[in-house]
Amino acid sequence: MTDVPTAGPPTGPADVAPGLRRWQSHTLLLNVLIAVMLVGSAMLVWVVPRSILAFMAFQSSLLVIYLLPLAFRAKLAWAIVALGVLMPILGTHNGYYMEVAIQVGIFVALALGLNIVVGLAGLLDLGYVAFYAVGAYLWAIFGSPQAAKFLPIAGAFPLPSGWFFAFLILGLAVAAITGILLGLPVLRLRGDYLAIVTLGFGEVIRVLANNLDKPWNITNGPKGITPISRPPLFFEPALAAVGIDAPPSVLYPLYFYFMVLGIAAVVIVINRRLEGSHVGRAWEAIREDEVAAQAMGVPLVRMKLLAFAIGASFAGVMGVIFSAKQLFINPESFTFLESIGVLAMVILGGMGSIPGAIIGASAVTILNLQVLKGLSLWLNELRNSGMTVLGYNLADLPSQFEPAKYERMVFGIILILMMIYRPAGIFPARRRKLEAFHRGEEPAA
């Protein structure tokens, strides 16, 4: 097989000048195309702020940027323009879009954390949401008056809002320790047995959160915890100095958006560095054949515990942010179905693939928060209008006919179709893509 040269400026002595001009014009054309797509879709969202299709067109432009044959720096620059400039403007114009963007960022970090455990190390974890709950309850308890109910220290709780940043680190550490505690008893388990134990662990955490309201009221049980402190707006005086007087209701969504975006970017960089390191190769060896990996000198205990700890730490950090953003949490926010949802994101995108986990998390979150709910609202508007189509009065549509109610069924159908037609995922890992190609299962994408 001959190697195919990668895209780039020609370097041959004979055709440097004409080849360089062709390459520059090609790159310029692609950049113009991206600019037209981004600006056009953003203007469409601004003009028609309630249009789901307009916002989905803007989101699709990010996928086009990733797929186009441009240099990494050019793609990064366009991503910064889209996510760092245009998205905050659109989110300020319509707060719902900002909420969707924040949720996407949270689930991207969760999917990347689970991707380390399931995709790279091959350890099927069905209780991943437990680590998310650990981080959320950690800040919820101490960042609200709840801690005063079992720690009678006068005036100590809730902690000052500045402690939020310390709890980001503390949430990471406590979730990592929890991941190690989960990993220790299951080191000898594989496959279905490991999945059952992790499922049980996730349910134990949820049940503890539901019942630790007596004899000491630690979690307030099923009633949940509220109000939870938000991080301080330390940049508010600087904004006032330049004449920007925005209320907290406008600043906090932007604040949480950039915080989630920054943490998600750090998580992506960490994943990328781990993937190509000796740790990532050790995880892949364990995933492919644990016995062979051990025979080659891979320290199974250390590598498995490291996978659980790193994956859990990402969930712990996002749990702290989730509780501060929501102002209220209860055990029903961390059910088994949440773990299955994050696992579906990883499988849909492609296990072991960083772009796959990002695309999977984005697709599932947008489908849930935007597409299905948007279709339900649209059908309700048609039902209330009493319009008649082909002799049928839309007011007679049954109330059960709402796509949002069938979210899990839609996910199930999508996963079934994926397993039949593209088992490696939307963006499979390079190794899995090559293996599937050589087996003739599907064309290499």
Q: Which of 61, 93, 125 is the last residue of a domain?
A: 93
Q: Is residue 398 part of a domain?
A: no
* Same domain assignment for residues 250 and 345: yes
Give me the tens of pLDDT residue by residue for the chain, a chain 445 residues long: 444 444 555 555 455 556 556 656 778 888 888 899 999 999 998 988 877 888 888 888 988 898 888 888 889 999 999 999 999 999 888 888 899 999 999 999 999 999 999 988 888 889 899 999 999 999 999 999 988 888 888 677 888 888 999 999 999 999 999 999 988 888 888 878 888 999 998 899 999 999 988 888 899 889 999 889 999 988 888 888 887 888 888 889 999 999 999 999 999 999 999 988 899 899 989 888 888 988 888 888 899 999 999 999 999 999 999 999 999 999 998 988 888 889 989 988 888 889 999 999 998 888 887 888 877 777 777 777 777 766 677 677 777 777 777 777 888 888 888 888 888 888 887 766 555 555 555 544 4
Question: Is the same domain home to 125 and 206?
Answer: yes
287 and 153 within one domain = yes
Residue 400 in domain: no
C-alpha span between 199 and 208 (Å, rounded): 14
Residues 153 and 183 in one domain: yes
**Same-domain check for residues 231 and 199:** yes
Nearest CA among 303, 260, 253 for reference residue 279: 303
The reply to whether 46 and 190 lie within a common domain is no
Whole-Å CA distances, 245 to 11, 238, 241, 439: 54, 10, 9, 61
Same domain (yes/no): 149, 278: yes
Please tell me whether residues 173 and 52 are part of one structural domain: no
Q: Is there a single domain that holds both residue 49 and residue 119? A: no
Q: Do residues 174 and 82 both lie within one domain?
A: no
Domain count, the chain: 2
Mark which of 32, 60, 93 sits at the end of a domain. Answer: 93
Which structural domain, as residue segments, surrounds residue 204? 98-352
Domain assignment present for 408: no
Residue 159 and residue 302 in one domain = yes
- 285 within some domain: yes
Whether residues 86 and 167 fall in one domain? no
